[in-house]
C-alpha cells in the first residue's frame, strides 16, 4: 500500500495561509495522510490517461520511502533502519483547492502515481527535485524545509498504523504544484536518483 502526506513543508504551509477558519479550524496536529491504492501505481514511461472531464493535472513531485520490513511504533531515532530505499514519485492530483474532504476522485484515478526505480536512501534534506513539462523546468523543490523529516514522519505514522514490507510512504507534495495539460511530457529528476518520465493523455469526454 502507498501512503502520502500533504502540508509537510514550510513553503506549502506558508502558501495555503491561515488555517484557523472553517472548515479547518486550526492547523493540522497529526500528519495529514492519504492513500494511493494499487490502481494508481505505474512505472517509468507510463502514459497516464486523465479521468473523463479532466484536462489538466497537478504534478506532485516527491520522494517515496520504501519499507524494508514491517514497521510499527517506530521511534524517530531508529526509524530509518526500517527503510529499504527511496523512489522518485509523480503524485498526480486533479486540482482541488479544499483539503477538507478526502480527495478520492482527485488523487486515486488509474495511473496517478508513476514511480521510479528503487535507490539507496541518502540525506534527502540535500536533494532538489526538478520537474520539467515538455522540456521546460516548472518547479525545483528542496526537502530541507520538511515539517516532519522522514524519521519523524515514520514515527508519527507508525504510532497508529503498521507499515508492511514494500509499503511506500511519500514524504509530501507541494501545495498547488505545477499543472500539466493533456498531451504533456513530464520528467522528474534528482541528482543520484535518476529520472522518472511519463505522458499525460486526455481522457474520455464526460
Partner 1 sequence: MKHGRIAWQGAIHEVTPAGDGKLRLADGRYVAESEVVWLPPVAVNTVFTLALNYADHAKELAFKAPEYPIVFLKGPNTIIGHKALTRRPADATYMHYECELAVIIGKSGYRVSKERAMEIVAGYSVANDYAIRDYLENYYRPNLRVKNRDGCTPLGPWMVDRDDIADPMKLTLTTRINGKTTQTGTTADMIFDIPALIEYLSSFMTLAPGDVILTGTPEGLADTKAGDVIETEIENIGCLINTIADDATFFAAAR
Residues that bind partner 1 (CB under 8 A): 1, 3, 6-7, 23-26, 28-30, 32-35, 37-40, 51-52, 72, 99-105, 108-110, 160-164, 204
Report long-range pairs for 141-145 (Cβ below 8 Å, ≥24 apart): 141/61, 141/174, 143/9, 143/63, 143/171, 145/9, 145/10, 145/11
With contact defined as beta carbons under 8 Å apart, do 24 and 100 qualify?
Answer: yes
Smallest gap from Cβ 29 to partner 1, in A, equals: 6
- Grid cell locating 14: 506558508
* Separation CA 72–CA 63 (nearest Å): 21
Nearer to partner 1, 23 or 135 (CB): 23
Least distance (Å) between residue 28 CB and partner 1: 5
Three-state DSSP at 40 gives: helix
Q: How far is the CB of 3 from partner 1 (least distance, A)?
A: 7
Taking the complex as a whole, the smallest distance from the CB of residue 188 to partner 1 amounts, in Å, to: 22
| Residue 158 to residues 69, 70, 81, 141, Cα–Cα distance (Å) | 12, 10, 14, 26
- Of 83 and 92, which has the nearer Cβ to partner 1? 92
The nearest distance, CB 182 to partner 1, in angstroms, is 15
Q: Which is nearer to partner 1, 129 or 150 (CB)?
A: 150
Residue among 163 and 177 whose Cβ is closer to partner 1: 163
Nearer to partner 1, 29 or 135 (CB): 29
User: Which triple of cell numbers denotes residue 59?
Assistant: 504534478
Amino acid at each position: 500500500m502507498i501512503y502520502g502526506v500533504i502540508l509537510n513543508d514550510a513553503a506549502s504551509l506558508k502558501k495555503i495561509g491561515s488555517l484557523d477558519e472553517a472548515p479547518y479550524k486550526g492547523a493540522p496536529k497529526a500528519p495529514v495522510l492519504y492513500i494511493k491504492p494499487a490502481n494508481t501505481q505505474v512505472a517509468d514511461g507510463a502514459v497516464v490517461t486523465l479521468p473523463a472531464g479532466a484536462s489538466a493535472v497537478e504534478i506532485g513531485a516527491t520522494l517515496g520511502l520504501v519499507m524494508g520490513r514491517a514497521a510499527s511504533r517506530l521511534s524517530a531515532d531508529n526509524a530509518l533502519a526500517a527503510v529499504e530505499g527511496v523512489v522518485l514519485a509523480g503524485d498526480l492530483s486533479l486540482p482541488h483547492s479544499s483539503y477538507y474532504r478526502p480527495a478520492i476522485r482527485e488523487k486515486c484515478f488509474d495511473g496517478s502515481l508513476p514511480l521510479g526505480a528503487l535507490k539507496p536512501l541518502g540525506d534527502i534534506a540535500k536533494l532538489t527535485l526538478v520537474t520539467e513539462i515538455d522540456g521546460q523546468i516548472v518547479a525545483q523543490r528542496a526537502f530541507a524545509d520538511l515539517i516532519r523529516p522522514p524519521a519523524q514522519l515514520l514515527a508519527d505514522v507508525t504510532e497508529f498504523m503498521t507499515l508492511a514490507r514494500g509499503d511506500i510512504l511519500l514524504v509530501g507534495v507541494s501545495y498547488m504544484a505545477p499543472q500539466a495539460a493533456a498531451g504533456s511530457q513530464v520528467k522528474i529528476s534528482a541528482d543520484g536518483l535518476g529520472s522518472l518520465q511519463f505522458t499525460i493523455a486526455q481522457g474520455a469526454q464526460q
